[in-house]
Amino acid sequence: MNILAIGCHPDDLEIGCYGTLIKYIKQGHEVSVCHIANGNMGHVEIMPDELRQIRFNEAAAAASLIGAKHYAIDIPDIHVTADNDQLIYDLGRVIRKARPELIITHNDHDYMNDHMQAYYATLRASFGASIPHFHCNDAGPEVPVCPIYHMDTVSGAGFIPTEYVDISDEMELKLEALSCHKSQIQWMLEHDGIDFLDFVRTCSRVRGYQCGAQYAEGFRANTNYLRLTARRLLP
């Protein structure tokens, strides 16, 4: 099976679903990851142009670590919107290249607009990529509309999972991949006093308590027409 995970910022997927992606890869599935925003505003001291390249490299390293194919769309932070036609065309090209049978992305309600818009852009682009004459034919032929799963919000705020994935055996590699984002992890520790690796481990532990696992990630199936399936798609 081909799985495509679409996150907003360069570390969002590592936080929300990398344990599940690692599990997919262990089972022999093909996994691609894509971040829409370039993360250029994610630091106080590093200037945006320099940070943009740093965060691209960090995301690419994290994807390489778990064996996933890496894509990136260069939208500045705070400027992600599903009304951006060029973003939809670019994301449609990624979808046609990855040819997903399942897409994982953000929840439709989250603490920041960029995350929510990433979901709506994914919804729009994945439908567009199924249309033969959509503006991404250079990336390959159309692909079927596929199911979408929403990954957890940061800290789980406002999110009630309907499905869980046991990531107990994948937890340490998930954190190692997240550790690739040194510009974020070190900055939060030094400037905000937040141990974000411990934060993510704790959130995964809470989800684990809820489903009887040591560590887990939570998801919700998108319930729009054409997005549901009778098959269990999560590992």
Q: CA of 55: how far to CAs of 40, 66, 76, 130, 158, in Å?
A: 8, 17, 12, 31, 28
Q: Does residue 192 or residue 31 have the better pLDDT?
A: 31
Residue 201: is its pLDDT beyond 90? yes
pLDDT of 99 above 90 = yes
Q: What is the pLDDT of residue 43?
A: 83
Query: Which residues lie closer than 8 Å to 232 by C-beta, 6 or more apart?
Result: none
The pTM (predicted TM-score) of the whole model is 0.96
- Cα–Cα nearest to 34, from 86, 1, 73, 61: 73
Domains assigned to the chain? 2-221 (3.40.50.10320)
